[in-house]
């Protein structure tokens, strides 16, 4: 299965490929022939597993290629690491005609993209995401950045890549928990924008979890298509792009409450989607039977780790403190039917609390 989509923004138009074997077959076409240096930013572990697949492509660039290892992990997604990468790039002869390849999960693609956005005031990046989350979300759309002590992703830049090469084959080595977490985001794409994708996800949880082609590849391609479409229509976080935040309002509160250590992002989003679905039914934007369908589809992907000790009060407090940082209003993306949503603010606290309690 070969799928090719385009992101079209004010900055750039670029292709996003979804194809097994695309790392060998297609990556080279994105690397500018005149690039003085080709910097591959990656994690050592990812490089050990899949670096060999870039070999033939990179061989043609000879010693212009430099592989830079980034330590990985949310705690290292910081300005210091971007500076360290920039120093290494300069030492290795990097200049304005260099190019960066981000080869790893969402942390690597965020850091590599941001380093490329800053180095010499901006050099091109090609994204080659290697986790499901990065393939369907992080690597598409041009958002790059790092964390501050005060919060996640608070320093960054929009830096659209030259292209995104998505090869589902690399996901064969991904841990099951990471696969499941990514699949929750795929399910999200179905709920907000694609009844076909939702049905496919609801009907085939075991095939998806087993990464079975063609189902798995189709689900990736369809969620990538949706991300490309939404980002093209609304590059910088306007109302349309906000629909991608379905499940993320309460999901973020839960991630913060569990100190970003207990849950993977996708797991927190799964919890948030379940709560937002309860909220939608409570606020009458969604029919109860459709609400049940969505909750059952989420749960078909397996248990979200137990949340002992988490209270609705604690999550409410997190939502309120979030409010201070995002302009005074909590926004909820609420489904109205499968494939469509509405964005609501000014939702009464007791409705939110009840929806959280129904999900705990
Ligand atoms: N820029 C955006 O629009 C955007 C969107 C969503 C998420 N993000 C960011 O993405 C990050 C999370 O990304 P993630 O979930 O990919 O985490 P990650 O990058 O930490 O990867 C998860 C784990 O998988 C390992 N891994 C990567 N590829 C592998 C492979 N092919 N086989 C085996 N193991 C592999 C990594 O070493 C890591 O341990 C967060 O920092 C989040 O803020 C950004
Ligand atoms: Zn997300």
* Whole-Å CA distances, 263 to 29, 187, 242: 38, 18, 23
231 lines ligand 1 (CB under 6 A): no
251-281: per-residue pLDDT in tens? 999 999 998 888 999 999 999 999 999 999 9
Would you list the DSSP string of 194-211? -HHHHHHHHH-HHHHHTT
CA of 62 to the centre of ligand 2 (A): 37
Which domains, and CATH codes, for the chain? Answer: 2-170 (3.40.50.1970), 176-359 (1.20.1090.10)
44 lines ligand 1 (CB under 6 A): no
141 lines ligand 1 (CB under 6 A): yes
Closest CA to 265 of 94, 136, 95: 136
pTM for the model stands at 0.96
Instruction: Quickly count: other Cβ atoms within 10 Å of residue 343's Cβ.
Output: 14
Rounded to an integer, the average pLDDT of 50-57 is 94
CA of 191 to the centre of ligand 2 (A): 14
174 lines ligand 1 (CB under 6 A): yes
CA of 321 to the centre of ligand 1 (A): 26
What residues are labeled active site?
121, 143, 185, 227, 237, 241, 245, 248, 252, 265
Dist. CA 129–CA 105, nearest whole Å: 6
* Whole-Å CA distances, 325 to 144, 154, 234, 248, 320: 19, 11, 22, 15, 9
CA of 182 to the centre of ligand 2 (A): 9
DSSP code of 95?
Answer: -
Q: Confidence class of residue 309 from pLDDT cuts 50, 70 and 90?
A: confident
Structure tokens at 45: 């572990």
Identify which ligand lies nearest to the alpha carbon of 50.
Answer: 1
Q: Confidence class of residue 349 from pLDDT cuts 50, 70 and 90?
A: very high
Q: Confidence class of residue 324 from pLDDT cuts 50, 70 and 90?
A: low
Closest CA to 360 of 285, 304, 287, 321: 304
Q: Which residue has its alpha carbon closest to ligand 1 atom 2?
A: 138
């Amino acid at each position: 299965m070969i799928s090719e989509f385009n992101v079209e923004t004010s900055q750039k138009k670029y292709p996003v490929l979804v194809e097994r074997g695309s790392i060998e077959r297609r990556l080279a076409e994105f690397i500018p022939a005149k690039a003085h240096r080709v910097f591959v930013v990656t994690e050592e572990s990812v490089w050990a597993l899949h670096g060999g697949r870039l070999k033939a492509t990179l061989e043609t660039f000879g010693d212009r290629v430099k592989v830079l290892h980034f330590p990985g992990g949310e705690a290292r997604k910081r300005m210091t690491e971007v500076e360290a990468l920039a120093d290494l790039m300069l030492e290795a002869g990097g200049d304005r005609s260099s190019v960066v390849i981000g080869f790893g999960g969402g942390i690597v693609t965020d850091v590599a993209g941001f380093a490329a956005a800053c180095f010499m005031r901006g050099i091109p990046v090609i994204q080659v995401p290697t986790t499901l989350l990065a393939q369907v979300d992080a690597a598409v759309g041009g958002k790059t950045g790092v964390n501050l002590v005060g919060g996640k992703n608070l320093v960054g830049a929009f830096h659209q890549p030259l292209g995104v090469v998505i090869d589902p084959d690399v996901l064969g080595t991904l841990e099951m928990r990471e696969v499941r977490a990514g699949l929750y985001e795929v399910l999200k794409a179905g709920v907000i924008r694609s009844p076909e994708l939702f049905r496919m996800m609801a009907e085939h949880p075991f095939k998806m979890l087993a990464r079975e082609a063609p189902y798995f590849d189709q689900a990736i391609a369809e969620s990538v298509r949706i991300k490309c479409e939404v980002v093209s229509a609304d590059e910088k976080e306007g109302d349309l792009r906000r629909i991608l935040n379905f499940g993320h309002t309460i999901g973020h509160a839960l991630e913060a409450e569990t100190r970003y250590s207990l849950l993977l992002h996708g797991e927190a989003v799964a919890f948030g989607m379940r709560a937002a679905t309860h909220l939608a039914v409570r606020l009458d934007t969604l029919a109860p039977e459709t609400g049940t369908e969505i909750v059952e589809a989420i749960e078909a992907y397996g248990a979200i780790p137990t949340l002992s000790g988490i209270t609705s009060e604690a999550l409410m407090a997190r939502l309120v403190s979030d409010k201070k940082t995002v302009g005074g209003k909590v926004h909820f993306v609420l489904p109205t039917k499968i494939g469509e949503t509405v964005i609501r603010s000014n939702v009464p606290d007791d409705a939110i609390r009840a929806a959280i309690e129904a999900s705990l």
